[in-house]
Structures are given as structure tokens and as C-alpha cells.
Structure 1
Amino acid sequence: MARPIWNGTISFGLLHVPVQLMSAQRSVDLHFRMLDSRDQSPIRYERVNAETGEEVPWKEVVKAFEYEKGSYVVLDEADLKKAAPESTETVDIEAFVDADAIDAMYYEKPYYLVPGKKAEKAYVLLRETLRRTEKVGIAKVVIRTRQYLAMLAPRETALVLILLRFPQEIVSADEYSFPAGTAAAHRVSAKEVAMATQLVEAMSAEWNPDDYKDDFRDKLQKIIQERVTKEGGKLRRLRAAEKLPDDAATNVVDFMALLEKSLGQGKRAQTKVTKKRATRSRARTVGASARRAQK
């Protein structure tokens, strides 16, 4: 069984759900080693100084940012620690939004959130509430040394955590040129549209991911197996995964009391947000009036 990436909690309001963060994807790429064709010895890569051609030991390697072509600013460990997020191992839900409000362009990587021991009730409460309201939780989470934006959503009997891209990671469509206008503007006839529609309908089917295979990988795997068998080699077996430690038992909690208290805090927070928005709106109105007066 796979190892958890970390053991932590989902936090929303005053409720905390102990969970294990587990990867929901696996790499199926075939990895190759580079060998010297003359004697089949593995080739290793070295850190080489671009000016002298000499190998650089790890202790002399520093990290730097190229702020201009050929100009670098060196960052030390203290600088990196200042910027590093605090490792909390908590999925802090900041808001709930409509499940269909997030564009698929923002999706990056999926994880499973497996409930901790004796945390099933809280887990199911959150899962079924999300399903009933058709909402997803938007959260911040730290994995290893990086903070991510994430979406928490129900999927069958599981809760999944999907890492999201931040807006600055999405390339705007404005950076490219796309054909604007109607089909008629591009001399696409009604007959062509009708025939293309007919073709799409004829090729339509229910989505079943098992219908699709990585043909290249399958063929390459077969070639590798045939080569190993032909040359009398033996496949190496992976060691069995170590047994996962049991989660610590969680205390029995009064969910109704926590929900009522969280709801009260949420209403107060919403009132503050509404007041801030109203203040900003008035400020924009005054500013616009002042600019019109200046004109």
C-alpha cells in the first residue's frame, strides 16, 4: 500500500477532520538510464563550472536568480527560509464555491484524503454536505516546502484534494491569435456545419476512461520484456511496502455545537466582508465623481 504524503487535518470553522494525504495519480513512464555503448557502464552527470570546465562540489553550489541576462542575485538558506511557508499539515478551507465555477484550466494534480482512525463521522459529514450543496472547498495547503491553492470535492465515497494553479500560472488567451467572428465570417457554410454536427453525433459515446490505452507505452513494454527474455535476464522485484502505522484515535466531539459556533463566526465574518465591500464601493463612487469634476 502507498505511503501517505502526510498525516494532517481538514479544517473548516471549528471542525477538524483527521486525514492522510495520498497521491491519486501514478507515473507510468518508462525510465531509461544512459549507458556507455562501449562497455555498457552507466553514465553519471557532473556539476561543471561553465567557465573553467572543472567539476563543482556540492558544498560550493549556491542558488541564484537571474534578474537580467547574465546578472544573478544569490540567495542563501536564510533567505529561502523567510519565504518558505509554515508546514502546518492542515487543509485550511477558506471558502466554499459552486462546484462548476472553477475552470478546468486551473486543475493541476489530484490527491485522495483518507479519513484517520475514528474520524469517519466528521469525514462523511463534510463529504455529504459538499455533495448536497453542490459546493467545493477552496483551501491553502502546504505539501513538503511549497504552498498550494487547492479544491476539496466529493468523489463517490472519497474526498479528493485537487491542487489548483494560481491565476499567474495561467497563460492568457490574449497572448495568442484566434479566429474571431461567426462561422459565416470565415466562409463556413451551413451545410458544412450540418455535416460536421452529424459526424460528431455519429462518433458520440459515453465517457469510459478504460477504453483508452497508452499504445506507445504498451508496445515499448512488450519490446523490453521480449529483450529481457531473449537475453536471459531476470526482472527485479520491488520489496513489499511496509505496513502503514495506525492513526492515533480521535476524541469524540459534539459536531452540532461546533457547527453552531462556526456558523456564528461565519456570519460575523461575512458581515465584515460586506461592510468592506460597501466601503470600497463608496470610495470608487467618490473617486469617479472627483475625476468627472476634474474633467
Structure 2
Amino acid sequence: MARPVWSGTLSFGLLNIPVSLMSGERRTDISFRMLDSRDNSPIRYERVNAESGEEVAWKDIVKAFEYDKGSYVVLDPDDIKSAAPESHGAIEVEAFVDVTAIGPQYFEKPYVLVPAKKAEKGYVLLREALASTGRIGVARVVIRTRESLCAVMPQGDALLLLMMRYPQELVDIGEYNIPEGARGDYRISDKELAFSEQLIETMSGDWQPDQYTDEFRERLQAVITKRMKATGVVKREAEEPSVAEDASTNVVDFMALLQQSIDKNKRTPARKSAGKAEDKPGKDKPAKKASKKAAKKTPAKSPKKAAKKTAGKKRKAA
């Protein structure tokens, strides 16, 4: 059974829906290992010093950025940690936009959002609201140490999470020599356009994904199967990621939370400021006073001192 890639909450406004992130794709590429032809032993990749040719141990390896050819700036682990995003277990929707507003070039990798137990109501509520309004949610999620832009959108009975590319990762189409202007500038006649439209109509039909297969992979798999029968099979154990426990749902009163979220958005801007509010001075004074009072309390008397006092009282009474 598939294991969750990530577990946490899907948040919009004041509503939190506990979910698990499941892979929405299946890799079908056939990969190869390099072997020594003399005894079929696997070939290892070693970390070798480019100058001396000697193997380098992991403890002696540092990370560096090559800012110019042959020029590097070495980074400490703390330097990299300082730039890493704050890890938290929430997919926080920042805005809802029209489903047609985001171009296909922004979408990268699909995942399926699966609700935790007792979180079905919030899950279905968001799914139906997105479907009826024609919107998708734009959010951010931190998986391991990387913060990614993502979109939450309905697909049938499911909510999909699509990893997105940042605008900086896309090439401006204007950098390429793309033909501009009207069709008349390229001497395209009305008859040519009409025939092209007619051809498109004759080739049109419903989208049936089962009709499309990776024929090269299937032919290559047949060759591999034939060779396996002839020479035998070497099995290896598949590694699976550890599973994080699902969080319990904390959605109680949907109407109240929705109303509070709407009221909050009316009072404050839609985008959250990046900086965190600084703590106001004097907030920790009560705690300090309490600690001083606790320090002034008389310590408990030791058993020996108590015994001496009791014996003294008995002598006086005698």
C-alpha cells in the first residue's frame, strides 16, 4: 500500500483539515545500472579529489557555491539552515484564484490530498466550494527543507495538490523568436484556415487517457523479461519511507469559523506580511515576579534539624 509523502493540515481562513499527501504519479521509466563486464559487479561512484585523485571522506566534504569559473564561496551548515524555511505541518492557502488564471507552464507535479479520519466534512466542504465557484487555492507547503508553491484544486471526488513553479523558474517566451502578428502577415488564406479547422473537427473526440501508452517502455520491458527468463533474476528489497501519524481533526463549528474568517479578511489585507510581530516589552514581567516569589519561599526543614528541636522540647518539659 502507498505511504504518505507528508502529513499535516490543509488550512484556509480559520479552518484546518487534517490530510495526508499521497503521490499522484507513477514512474514507469526503466533505469539501468552499470556493471563490470568481467564479473557483473555493480560500479560505484566515488568522491575523488580532482587534483590529487584521492578518495575524499564525507567528513572532509563541504558545500560551496561557484560564483565564477573556478571561484567558490564555502558555506557552513548553519549558513544553509539560516536560509531554510520554518518547518510546519500546514498547507496554508493564501488566495483563491480563477481556475483559468494560471497557465499550464506553472504546474509541475501532482499529489492527492487524502483526509484523515473524522475530517471528511471539511474536506468535502472545500471540494464543493471550489467546484461551485470555479476557483483553485494557491498555497505554500514545506516538505523536508524546501518550501514550494502549490495549488489545491478539485478533481472528481478528490482534492489534488499540484506543485507549482515560481515565476523565476520559467523562461520568458519573449526570449525566443516567436511569430507575431495576424495571420494575414503570413499569407494564410481563409481557405487554408477553413481546411485546418475542418481537419481539427474530424480528429476531435473525448479524452480517453487509456488509449495512450509508452510503447517504447513496453517493448523494452518485453526484451528485459525475455532476458530474465534466459539468464535468471536478481531480486532486491524495495525501500519505503516512514509514515507520519495523521493529526486529529480540530474542525468543530464550521459556520462560526467561516464567519470569523470572512470578518477577519474584511478587516485586514489579503496578503500576510512576511515579518513576524515583535514581542511587546513587559509581557514577561508577571512570570518573573512569580519566579521571584517562588524563590523566596522557605525551604523545607531537614529531618535531622526537626528531630533535634523535638528532643529539646521534650527535655524542657521534663
Considering the TM-score relative to the shorter chain, is it more than 0.5? yes
User: Which residue is equivalent to 2:26?
Assistant: 26
Amino acid at match of 2:9: T
**Does 2:55 correspond to 1:64?**
no
State TM-score, norm by structure 1. 0.86
Identity, % of aligned positions: 56
User: Which residue is equivalent to 2:8?
Assistant: 8
**Bigger Rg, which one:** 2
Kept in 1, the 8 Å contact 2:119–2:251? The answer is no
**Does 2:233 correspond to 1:234?**
yes
Count of residues in Structure 1 that have an aligned counterpart in Structure 2: 272
Q: Report deviation, 1:54.
A: 1.6
User: Which residue is equivalent to 1:174?
Assistant: 174
| 3-state SS of 2:96 partner | strand
Q: Deviation per CA, 1:80-126: give whole Å up to 9, x if none.
A: 10001111021011111111111001001111110011101111111
User: Which residue is equivalent to 1:218?
Assistant: 218
Q: Report deviation, 1:243.
A: 11
| 3-state SS of 1:228 partner | helix
| 3-state SS of 1:33 partner | coil
State TM-score, norm by structure 2. 0.80
Amino acid at match of 1:13: G
Q: Report deviation, 1:242.
A: 10
User: Which residue is equivalent to 1:194?
Assistant: 194
Kept in 2, the 8 Å contact 1:117–1:248? The answer is no
**Does 2:260 correspond to 1:261?**
yes
User: Which residue is equivalent to 2:116?
Assistant: 116
Structure 1 ranges of 4+ moved more than 6 A: 239-246
User: Which residue is equivalent to 2:46?
Assistant: 46
Q: Report deviation, 1:235.
A: 6.4
| 3-state SS of 2:19 partner | strand
* Mean Cα deviation higher: 90-99 or 44-53: 44-53
Q: Deviation per CA, 1:165-205: give whole Å up to 9, x if none.
A: 11100100111111222333223333332332222222222
User: Which residue is equivalent to 2:302?
Assistant: none
* Mean Cα deviation higher: 193-202 or 217-226: 193-202
Amino acid at match of 1:29: D
Distance in 2 (alpha carbons) for counterparts of 1:271 and 1:223: 57
Kept in 1, the 8 Å contact 2:142–2:148? The answer is yes
Question: Where does 1:76-95 land on structure 2 (aligned, <5 Å)?
Answer: 76-95=76-95
User: Which residue is equivalent to 1:149?
Assistant: 149
| 3-state SS of 1:100 partner | coil
* Mean Cα deviation higher: 40-49 or 245-254: 245-254
Larger RCO: 1 or 2 (CA < 8 Å, sep 6+): 2
Q: Report deviation, 1:270.
A: 4.0
Distance in 1 (alpha carbons) for counterparts of 2:62 and 2:154: 43
Q: Report deviation, 1:130.
A: 0.9
| 3-state SS of 2:181 partner | coil
Distance in 1 (alpha carbons) for counterparts of 2:236 and 2:83: 42
Indicate the RMSD between aligned Cα atoms, in angstroms.
Answer: 2.3
Q: What runs of 5+ residues in structure 2 fail to find an aligned partner?
A: 273-318
